[in-house]
């Protein structure tokens, strides 16, 4: 998103441009951009001169929301697997509650940080499509 913040006017950026700039795998970045589009953070223009532009104001988006939308888990430990099975140590675990408290504090902290804060406060320049 930081690349898109720096775009001038109605300019768009292709996945290839962004991929080259940040040396990221194109396929991975393409999937990330599709997910950002799905949640309304970016919009896309199709065609040979198409690409992506911002569809949001980064200073208005809590970082915790973006991370949740992108399916980033903020869990430090997993007490239960995808099948609903609990860890074998679940009943005797002495760190579960302290860890859950830490996770809650991290989520609270991330809710006070905006996407603009995370990308260097560039929100003042943001061109929203």
Same domain assignment for residues 55 and 70: no
Same domain assignment for residues 74 and 92: yes
- pLDDT above 90: residue 24: yes
Same domain assignment for residues 53 and 2: yes
Same domain assignment for residues 68 and 51: no
Same domain assignment for residues 105 and 53: no
Same domain assignment for residues 75 and 85: yes
Same domain assignment for residues 69 and 91: yes
Structural domain span for residue 79: 62-113
Q: Based on the structure, what is the number of domains in the chain? A: 2
Same domain assignment for residues 9 and 55: yes
pLDDT at res. 14: 94
- pLDDT above 60: residue 124: no
pLDDT at res. 74: 75
pLDDT at res. 128: 57
| Torsion angle, alpha carbons of 80, 81, 87, 90, to 10 | 0
- pLDDT above 60: residue 121: no
pLDDT at res. 127: 54
- pLDDT above 60: residue 103: yes
What does pTM read for this prediction?
Answer: 0.75
């Amino acid at each position: 998103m930081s690349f898109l913040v720096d775009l001038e006017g109605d300019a768009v950026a292709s996945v290839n441009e962004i991929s080259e700039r940040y040396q990221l795998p194109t396929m991975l970045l393409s999937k990330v951009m599709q997910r950002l589009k799905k949640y309304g953070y970016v919009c896309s223009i199709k065609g040979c001169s198409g690409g992506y532009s911002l569809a949001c104001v980064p200073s208005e988006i809590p970082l915790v929301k973006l991370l949740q939308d992108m399916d980033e888990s903020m869990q430090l430990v997993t007490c239960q697997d995808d099948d609903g099975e609990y860890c074998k140590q679940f009943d005797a675990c002495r760190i579960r509650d302290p860890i859950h408290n830490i996770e809650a504090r991290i989520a609270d902290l991330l809710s006070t940080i905006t996407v603009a804060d995370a990308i260097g406060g560039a929100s003042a320049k943001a061109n929203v499509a």
